[in-house]
Amino acid sequence: MTATQTAALRVEKLDRVFDVSAPFLSRLLYRQERRYLHAVNDVSFSVPSGGCLSLVGESGCGKSTVARLVTGIYPPSSGQIRFAPGRSGQPLSAQMIFQDPYASLNPRWRVKTIIAEPLRELKLRDTEALVAERVAELLGIVGLNVADGDKFPHEFSGGQRQRISIARALASEPEFLVCDEPTSALDVSVQAQILNLMRRLQDELGLTYLFISHDLSVVRHMSDQIAVMYLGRIVEHAETEVLFADPKHPYTRLLLETIPDVNSPHRDRKIVAGEVPSPLSPPSGCTFHPRCPLAQDRCKTERPNLETKPDGARVACHFA
């Protein structure tokens, strides 16, 4: 969006389809059709170098799938993912902090081995003594103790595990970090420490982030730009302050209204009305139309394209 900065990552017309058909035999027996799930649909965005783009949207809208496509865990069904050259001249490669911290840590390895793996793999430290020193430093950075390195992942609390996976991601000195709910298992005080750390790394090392969180106050704190996803598509993409000051898509507006508020206990939140549609059989036209307060006949048949507004926001709505 901001043309003055170079993009660290450019994603164009990204698609990912999963085959979720029943097993062959039961398809045969019950005459079922093959079923496909279009998890990511025609997604394009770019992340400015040294900046932070956040993906938000309800559960199942495709955020983690975009993260997995960008980091190469899944191949795209179609579309392009291009990283700019990094410090070494090679294209940047992305490191990922996973949503499920426990599942991403090898349970049979000690924590120090887990964190040291990228150091050894990429030969970032020459001697074992230097590796150990760096591991100790990383443990300290995420608020754990050197002695914790000798323990196994199961001996840690949920939030401590998440910090281990952050330490491992930082070990490889990445220039591009994809963070999928990096602080969701952390209490607010540790979360504040980690978010402050991530901001500092950004300032000092020019780290670029693709950030996923369902916590909009965290997203607002971290990001320069926000892309709102709905059923696999981006429906609004704007500078953070523009999005919060003037949300244009009706879905974005509903999303901002449902934020829980510490200052009003027992408030009944507005819940986005209507049933959440299934990505297995998405509604026609604008996929948000069954839940949209502004929907007209046109929305049922014609899908709106992302259009750029005067303040730079891109919005896919006929009436925004």
Partner 1 sequence: MLDATPSCLEVRNLVVEFPGRHGTVTALNDITLDIRPGEILGVVGESGAGKSMTGAAILGLLERPGRIAGGEISLAGRRIDGLGDRAMEKVRGREIGAIFQDPLTSLNPLFTVGAQLSETIRQHIPGTSRAQARARAVELLQEVGIPAPQERVDHFPHQFSGGMRQRVVIALALAARPKLIIADEPTTALDVSIQAQITGLLRKLCKEHDTAVMLVTHDMGVIAETADRVAVMYAGRLIEIGPVEDVLKSPAHPYTRGLMASIPALGARVRTLHQIDGAMPRLNAIPAGCAFNPRCTLAGPRCRRNRPDLIPTRSGQAACWLYEGGVE
Ligand X SMILES: Nc1ncnc2c1ncn2[C@@H]1O[C@H](COP(=O)(O)OP(=O)(O)OP(=O)(O)O)[C@@H](O)[C@H]1O
Work out the burial of residue 14: count CB atoms within 10 Å of its CB; fewer than 13 is exposed, 13-18 middle, 19 or more buried: buried
Over the window 165 to 204, marking each residue x when it contacts ligand X by CB under 6 A and - when it does not, the resulting string is: ----------------------x-----------------
Work out the burial of residue 318: count CB atoms within 10 Å of its CB; fewer than 13 is exposed, 13-18 middle, 19 or more buried: middle
Q: Report the residue closest to ligand X, judged by CB.
A: 159
Dist. CA 291–CA 275, nearest whole Å: 7
Q: Total number of residues binding partner 1 (CB under 8 A)?
A: 72
**Do 300 and 285 meet the contact criterion of CB atoms below 8 Å apart?**
yes
**Do 96 and 180 meet the contact criterion of CB atoms below 8 Å apart?**
yes
Over the window 29 to 48, marking each residue x when it contacts ligand X by CB under 6 A and - when it does not, the resulting string is: --------x-x---------
**Quick one: CA torsion of 63, 69, 71, 72, rounded to 10 degrees?**
160
> Is residue 234 a contact residue for ligand X (CB under 6 A)?
no
> Is residue 155 a contact residue for Mg ion (CB under 5 A)?
no
Over the window 120 to 139, marking each residue x when it contacts partner 1 by CB under 8 A and - when it does not, the resulting string is: --------------------
**Do 188 and 21 meet the contact criterion of CB atoms below 8 Å apart?**
no
> Is residue 211 a contact residue for ligand X (CB under 6 A)?
no
> Is residue 281 a contact residue for ligand X (CB under 6 A)?
no
Binder of residue 2, out of Mg ion, ligand X, partner 1, none (CB less than 5 to 8 A by kind) = none
Closest CA to 43 of 66, 26, 59: 66
> Is residue 157 a contact residue for Mg ion (CB under 5 A)?
yes
Q: Which stretch binds ligand X (CB under 6 A): 62-70, 164-172, 198-206, 292-300?
A: 62-70
Query: Contacting partner 1 (CB under 8 A), which of 50, 60, 206, 283?
Result: 60
Dist. CA 137–CA 300, nearest whole Å: 56
Phi, psi of 164 (to 5 degrees): -65, -40
> Is residue 158 a contact residue for Mg ion (CB under 5 A)?
yes
| 82-101 binders of Mg ion (CB under 5 A) | 99
For the bound state, the minimum distance from the C-beta of residue 272 to partner 1, rounded and expressed in Å, comes to 5
77/172 with CB nearer partner 1: 77
Dist. CA 21–CA 39, nearest whole Å: 14
75/260 with CB nearer partner 1: 260
Dist. CA 228–CA 255, nearest whole Å: 9
Judged by the rule CB under 5 A, the positions of this chain that interact with Mg ion are 64, 99, 157-158
Judged by the rule CB under 6 A, the positions of this chain that interact with ligand X are 18, 20, 37, 39, 59-65, 99, 154-160, 187, 279
